[in-house]
Amino acid sequence: MDHKIIAALERISQAFRVLLWNESKELGLTPIQIQTLIFLRHHSVEKRKISYLATELGVTKATISETVKTLLEKALIGKEYDPQDSRSFVIRLTPEGKKIAKQTGFFAGHIEKPIGRLEDADKETLFKSLTGIVHHLNQAGVIGIQRMCFTCAYYAQDRDGTPHFCKLMNIPLRTQDLRIDCPEHAPLH
Ligand code: SF4
């Protein structure tokens, strides 16, 4: 059974690559350019920097610098320089970049459909299992930054009679409330 689950996850991963590639081809962009635009659309200003993007997308700074250069040439992004440090800048989407990021954000629609048909209890079990795998991969150093509850300084286990608790919002978290990309995430030191 373990091997069958791994084989199924591998197929799903392949499906993500194919769907992203199809989307990229239609727009004349590369998959990493599309992923960069989608990330910029959904994340706050302090995360829209070259080094953060490189870690987030699991590529080198040189690759992201090249991606940013091309997206600038295509006028899909712009730079905002730090007034205190002229070498430091954050990246923002242009109106055209926002349009493409919005359009391509649905590239995984074919994967969403079968998930949408699952019973709520099955979704919860699947989510719990997948977050456990993501957490393990993060702890093992296979994947980089994860803004999930399990790696957050505000997360507490087994508090106030609940298995999960957010100390920032001061509320218990049900399994379906656990986050995997939380804007308030504070990394553990
Ligand atoms: S701040 Fe966000 S990531 Fe951290 S425990 Fe609360 S909900 Fe989870």
Q: Please report which confidence band the pLDDT of residue 143 belongs to, taking 50, 70 and 90 as the band edges.
A: confident
Atom of ligand 1 nearest to the CA of 165: 5
Q: List pLDDT tens digits, range 35-85.
A: 999 999 989 888 899 989 998 888 999 999 999 999 999 999 999 887 777
Average pLDDT over residues 101-115: 87
Q: Is 149 in the pocket of ligand 1 (CB under 6 A)?
A: yes
Comparing 187 with 161, the larger pLDDT belongs to 187
Q: In the numeric block, which tokens belong to residue 37?
A: 């635009």
Rounded Cα distance, 185 and 183, in Å: 6
Instruction: Spell 22-39 as b/e; 16+ CB within 10 A means b.
Output: ebbeeeebbbbbbbbbbb
Rounded Cα distance, 38 and 64, in Å: 14
Quick one: pLDDT at residue 134?
A: 92
In the chain, where are the structural domains located? 2-104, 119-177
- In CATH, what class is 2-104? mainly alpha
**Is 17's pLDDT higher than 80?**
yes
Mean pLDDT computed over every residue of the chain:
90
Residue among 49, 33, 55, 51 at smallest CA distance from 147: 55
Q: What is the pTM of this model?
A: 0.80
Residue among 136, 173, 169, 130 at smallest CA distance from 151: 136
Gap from CA of 150 to ligand 1 centroid (Å): 8
Give the percent of the chain with pLDDT over 90.
63
Rounded Cα distance, 176 and 158, in Å: 16
**Is 6's pLDDT higher than 90?**
yes
Q: Is 171 in the pocket of ligand 1 (CB under 6 A)?
A: no
